[in-house]
């Protein structure tokens, strides 16, 4: 944020300034993170000489990370199409859309931090086989996401015009930005809860599962909406409505999937329970055998 203000307002570089600020901020973040890990004295300390690629860990990272990357690309594909539709209204709407989106990003970033935490905590409890806590994590993170969305979104809407003036002084552009935020921000928490559910599913070792509803609701639905409802009524309001409607559809599908996989986790089928007990028995026997050999 600070670098954006410096390069856009002070240096007068406009869009180029935002790009430069983004690149610089990424490098600064990388340097600070690496420096922190190098000077860490706990188990998270980084040893540059010991950095190496381990096949098992790499495959685990790819198994979880690749679906997440593909999931993010779905959003990009749909957003590119929506942006092309926004461009059809001209420069003022384009600028207003960009301004509104920039302010919404601060709310999304805060909500996204909660969903990332949900993935971490759900994964820890999944590994510890404390499955009941995963459900509590989902509820706690969802409530926190709603509070963050309503509070920050309310602040943005309350001070919408002064905040928009950071980016532009054109009253028409500010009006178009407020039009977008009026549709997006009141229901933005639904998007955040979707992220929380997806995070919990990833923590439950179901990284591929959320891809299906996200593709249907975020990518396919918005494309269909763009070529049907938006073509029938060519207004920005109809175009922006594709966001909240797709989030509502997405949260319904993700909630159903979470319920199904959570029940399978808590009460697995009989043959799976027998297999799990057999594996636990074998591990116990191996552990007892090892103790006998030590004695």
Contacts of 107 (CB under 8 A, 6+ apart): 148, 149, 152, 153, 156, 185, 188
Q: Are residues 127 and 181 in the same domain?
A: yes
Give residue 3's pLDDT. Answer: 67
Q: Are residues 44 and 76 in the same domain?
A: no
Count of domains forming the chain: 2
Q: Are residues 149 and 79 in the same domain?
A: yes
Q: Are residues 150 and 214 in the same domain?
A: yes
Task: Chunk the chain into consecutive blocks of 10 residues (it has 295) and report each block's average pLDDT, rounded to whole numbers.
Answer: 67 70 85 87 79 82 75 76 88 90 90 90 89 91 94 93 87 92 94 92 84 85 91 92 93 92 77 47 45 42
pTM of this structure: 0.76
Q: Are residues 42 and 87 in the same domain?
A: no
Q: Are residues 28 and 91 in the same domain?
A: no
Q: Are residues 107 and 20 in the same domain?
A: no
CA distance 249 to 259: 16
Q: Are residues 11 and 125 in the same domain?
A: no
Give residue 281's pLDDT. Answer: 43
Is 230 inside a domain boundary? yes
Q: Which domain holds residue 43?
A: 1-52
Q: Are residues 11 and 123 in the same domain?
A: no
Q: Are residues 127 and 161 in the same domain?
A: yes
Place of tokens 């420096």: 35
Is 289 inside a domain boundary? no
CA distance 180 to 28: 32
Is 282 inside a domain boundary? no
Q: Are residues 109 and 137 in the same domain?
A: yes
Give residue 50's pLDDT. Answer: 80
Q: Are residues 149 and 7 in the same domain?
A: no
């Amino acid at each position: 944020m600070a670098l954006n203000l410096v390069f856009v307002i002070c240096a007068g570089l406009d869009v180029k300034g935002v790009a430069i600020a983004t690149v610089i901020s990424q490098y600064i973040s990388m340097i600070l993170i690496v420096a922190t890990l190098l000077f860490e004295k706990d188990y998270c300390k980084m040893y540059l000489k010991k950095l190496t690629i381990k096949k098992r860990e790499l495959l685990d990272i790819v198994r979880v990370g690749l679906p997440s990357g593909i999931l993010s690309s779905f959003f990009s594909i749909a957003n590119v199409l929506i942006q092309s539709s926004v461009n059809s209204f001209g420069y003022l709407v384009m600028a207003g859309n960009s301004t509104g989106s920039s302010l919404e990003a601060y709310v999304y970033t805060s909500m996204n931090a909660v969903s990332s935490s949900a993935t971490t905590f759900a994964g820890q409890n999944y590994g510890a086989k404390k499955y009941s806590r995963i459900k509590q994590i989902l509820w706690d993170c969802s409530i926190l996401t709603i509070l963050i969305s309503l509070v920050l979104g309310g602040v943005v809407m309350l001070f919408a015009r002064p905040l928009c003036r950071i980016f532009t002084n054109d009253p028409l552009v500010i009006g178009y930005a407020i039009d977008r935020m009026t549709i997006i921000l009141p229901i933005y928490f639904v998007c955040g809860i979707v992220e929380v559910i997806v995070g919990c599913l990833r923590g439950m070792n179901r990284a591929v599962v959320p891809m299906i509803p996200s593709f249907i609701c975020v990518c396919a639905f918005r494309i269909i909406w763009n070529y049907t409802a938006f073509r029938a009524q060519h207004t920005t309001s109809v175009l922006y409505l594709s966001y909240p409607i797709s989030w509502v559809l997405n949260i319904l599908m993700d909630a159903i999937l979470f319920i199904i996989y959570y029940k399978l986790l808590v009460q697995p089928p009989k043959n799976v329970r027998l297999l799990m007990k057999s594996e636990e028995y074998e591990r116990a026997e191996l552990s007892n055998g090892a103790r006998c050999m030590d004695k």
